[in-house]
């Protein structure tokens, strides 16, 4: 099967014109249509990155910042394990309700005020107040945040809440100084402890940061970092080739393959911990309310072909939420494999046959036709949608593809118009399996796309949240994985490798396990 067959659904968005002005008085003008103003020698200490992600807010609770301005108490190490950041160590009480964090000393905020337990308390209390607005868990079970002494912070919960450590690694839990907020508790300027201090923000276009010379860790090697919003991959590629930007992020395997052959560029690949491309199936919409139809879809898709052709062999097929190298994966899980004949048998059993021999199955005078939505900011998804459509067509399922941005798709889902949603979602986004499990709750960001939240599944999810012992938690999430594969509200397709590219004069840049750009060590030669 030729890869060109899958490229029909790839869409191109209109190129956007964007520019930013840095507060230090250095002006970089970028016209995405191709016009470029060459930088002066003084700008050699600036790293410019183009990504498809729009900088939507200065508040890390609302939207994560690309610039490393603020930091959380905890982080994730190179093996994907939760590790120290602003907290050097932590303990959990025997009843699982009190978490004690021993904070790093000698750390300053960008405004010169000291980072200490009182500052962390103020910032985290705001995070927990606003969690109902922005978190998949509508209310963290936090009773109090206290500061017993200058560098000790305690968080007490009303019940054991095992995912807390994972949630404290996230952008929403990053610590901001008191001067960041106005009288209405809104962020007017993010003042953190990170390697870069906030410089400028142009909504929908750009965000920049300047090196913080008093950073507690290793000082950044460049003076300024700038992130530009360029939604279309072709635009990002053109900007890189023209020398308008130093780095481009979130590129397709096909583009990476081409850039690898050019000595002027360097390609970076990193398997992103927990990210999986998968289909969310709306179990409230007939015929997807029939598990046999959902099972048919799962076994009708040739994941190996998609990985080998569309993804240039860079990714591995997925049949479960966690890849085998992750702790939370379940050994011996019976996963579906490509079997179009079995798919046809499932559809026959569900009463769908091709009565008029037109290649599309029908039942009670209705053709088996499904709507499939996806979005273009991850550039391989529209082509993958075409591959899925082609393979479902071979077993008698007609599919109509619509390409919209994520928020627009979810609006369509609220109206019940989305049968299948092809997404690239991180199952360990909060560094804890509760991220994945929470998708199957009524509070989920994606609930309207699946409408799958059985009471017994909800009970298992709550049990997983309240079980502190990790081995016991593992058994719970093993059970959940078995249940999800049995009910098929989701069809897992491939694991995900993050890909970026830079000009060849960029050194010591890297992608992290969690999909972030590491710019603190990067520099130009």
Asked if residue 252 lies in contact with residue 310, where contact means CB atoms within 8 angstroms, the answer is no
Residue 334's pLDDT is 79
Give the mean model confidence (pLDDT) for residues 165-177. Answer: 93
pLDDT in tens, 120-138: 999 999 999 887 665 656 6
pLDDT in tens, 413-439: 999 999 999 999 999 888 899 999 999
Residue 512's pLDDT is 81
- Three-state secondary structure call for residue 66: coil
The string of DSSP codes covering 132-199 is HHH-SSSS--EEEEEEEETTEEEEEESS--TTHHHHTTSGGG-B--GGGB-TTS-BSS---SSSEEEE
**Among the ranges given (161-170, 314-323, 328-337), the one the predictor scored with the smallest mean pLDDT:** 328-337
Residue 513's pLDDT is 81
Residue 134's pLDDT is 59
Q: Which residues contact 244 (CB under 8 A, 6 or more apart)?
A: 30, 36, 48, 238
Which of 70-79, 89-98, 516-525 shows the highest mean pLDDT? 89-98
Bigger pLDDT: 32 vs 211: 211
> Mutual orientation of helices 381-393 and 291-300 as an angle, nearest 10°?
110
Beta strands in 404-476 (DSSP E): 420-426
Closest CA to 84 of 102, 68, 60, 58: 102
What whole-number distance in Å separates Cα of residue 212 and Cα of residue 226? 15
Closest CA to 279 of 444, 420, 376: 420
> Mutual orientation of helices 340-349 and 291-300 as an angle, nearest 10°?
170
Q: Degrees (nearest 5) of the Cα angle 55, 58, 61?
A: 100
Asked if residue 399 lies in contact with residue 393, where contact means CB atoms within 8 angstroms, the answer is yes
Q: Which CATH architecture has domain 272-497?
A: Roll (3.10)
What whole-number distance in Å separates Cα of residue 207 and Cα of residue 209? 7
Residue 363 has pLDDT above 70, yes or no: yes
pLDDT in tens, 503-525: 999 999 988 887 788 898 999 99
Bigger pLDDT: 522 vs 41: 522
Q: What are the boundaries of each domain within the chain?
A: 16-62+194-264+504-524, 74-180, 272-497
* Homologous superfamily in CATH for domain 16-62+194-264+504-524: Periplasmic binding protein-like II (3.40.190.10)
pLDDT in tens, 444-495: 889 999 999 999 999 999 999 999 999 999 999 999 999 999 999 999 999 9
- Tokens 């300027």 belong to which residue? 189
What whole-number distance in Å separates Cα of residue 204 and Cα of residue 418? 27
Q: What is the CATH number of domain 74-180?
A: 3.90.76.10
What whole-number distance in Å separates Cα of residue 380 and Cα of residue 384? 6
Residue 463's pLDDT is 97
Closest CA to 181 of 60, 54, 75, 24: 60
């Amino acid at each position: 099967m030729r890869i060109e067959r899958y490229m029909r659904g790839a869409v191109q968005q209109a190129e956007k014109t964007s520019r930013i002005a840095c507060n230090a008085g250095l002006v970089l003008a970028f016209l995405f249509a191709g016009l470029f103003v060459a930088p002066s020698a003084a700008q050699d200490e600036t790293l410019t990155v183009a990504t498809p992600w729009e900088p939507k807010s200065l508040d890390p609770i609302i939207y994560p910042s690309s610039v490393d301005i603020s930091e959380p108490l905890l982080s994730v190490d190179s093996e994907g394990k939760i590790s120290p950041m602003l907290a050097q160590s932590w303990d959990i009480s025997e009843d699982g309700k009190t978490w004690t964090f021993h904070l790093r000393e000698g750390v300053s905020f960008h405004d010169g005020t000291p980072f200490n337990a009182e500052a962390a308390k103020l910032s985290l209390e705001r995070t927990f107040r606003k969690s109902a607005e922005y978190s998949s868990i509508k209310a963290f079970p936090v009773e109090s945040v206290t500061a017993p002494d200058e560098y000790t912070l305690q968080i007490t919960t009303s019940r054991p809440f095992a995912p807390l450590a994972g949630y404290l690694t996230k952008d929403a839990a990053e610590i901001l100084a008191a001067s960041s907020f106005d009288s209405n508790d809104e962020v007017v300027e993010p003042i953190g402890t990170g390697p870069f201090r906030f410089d400028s923000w142009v909504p929908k276009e750009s965000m920049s940061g300047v090196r913080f010379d008093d950073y507690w860790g290793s000082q950044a090697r460049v003076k300024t970092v700038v992130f530009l919003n360029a939604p279309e991959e072709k635009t990002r590629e053109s900007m890189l080739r023209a020398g308008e930007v130093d780095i481009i992020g979130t590129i397709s395997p096909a583009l990476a393959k081409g850039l690898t052959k050019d000595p002027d560029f360097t390609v970076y690949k990193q398997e992103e911990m927990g990210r999986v491309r998968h289909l969310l199936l709306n179990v409230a919409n007939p015929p997807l309310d029939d598990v046999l139809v959902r099972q048919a879809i799962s076994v009708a898709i040739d994941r190996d072909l998609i990985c080998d052709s569309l993804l240039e062999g860079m990714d591995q097929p997925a049949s479960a939420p966690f890849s085998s190298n992750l702790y939370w994966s379940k050994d011996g899980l019976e996963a579906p494999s490509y079997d179009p004949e079995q798919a046809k048998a499932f559809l026959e059993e569900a009463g769908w046959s091709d009565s008029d021999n037109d290649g599309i199955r029908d039942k009670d005078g209705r053709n088996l036709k499904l709507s499939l939505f996806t979005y273009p900011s991850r550039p391989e998804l529209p082509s993958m949608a075409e591959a899925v459509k082609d393979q479902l067509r071979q077993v008698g399922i007609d599919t109509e593809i619509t390409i919209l941005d994520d928020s627009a798709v979810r609006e369509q889902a609220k109206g019940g118009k989305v049968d299948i949603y092809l997404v690239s979602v991180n199952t360990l986004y909060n560094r804890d399996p509760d991220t994945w499990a929470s998708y199957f709750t009524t509070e989920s960001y994606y609930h309207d796309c699946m409408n799958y939240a059985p009471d017994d599944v909800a009970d298992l999810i709550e049990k997983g949240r309240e079980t502190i012992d990790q081995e016991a938690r593992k058994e719970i999430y093993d059970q959940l994985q078995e249940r999800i594969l049995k009910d098929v509200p989701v069809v897992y397709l491939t694991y995900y490798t993050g890909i970026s590219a830079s000009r060849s004069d960029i050194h010591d840049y890297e992608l992290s396990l969690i999909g972030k750009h590491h710019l603190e060590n990067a520099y130009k030669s």
